[in-house]
Amino acid sequence: MSQAVWFPALIIVYALVSGYGLYLLKASQEFLSSGFLLGCLFYGGGFVIWIFILRLFPLSIAFPTAAGALIIATQIAGVYYLKESLAPTTIAGIVFIAIGILLIYANTAKNHG
């Protein structure tokens, strides 16, 4: 399977796993509660996926894409699960991040497809 297929799949899984782990860490009521420990497990799983991404893709592609995807995932988790609100400027920032991710992916798919 080509890198053009693996790249977005790994980035999405990384963002979902890490974002869910961060949500669990934030939502846990006590330091060593089951939610906190599960959050550590998910966030640690995201770290393992991150190492895998780094071994497959150049840092200059992997880092901005993964960081951007994680920012978007945590914003969605904050709104959906924690009932946080988004300012219009934050929404604009999310849109710009998504555009940046798509531009990086388009270049990656073109060069490594």
What is the chain's length?
113
Q: How far is Cα 4 from Cα 109, in angstroms, rounded to an integer?
A: 5
Per-residue model confidence as pLDDT tens for the chain (113 residues): 677 788 899 999 999 999 999 999 999 989 999 999 999 999 999 999 999 999 999 999 999 999 999 999 999 999 999 999 999 999 999 999 999 999 998 877 777 65
- Domain boundaries, given as residue ranges, for the chain: 3-112
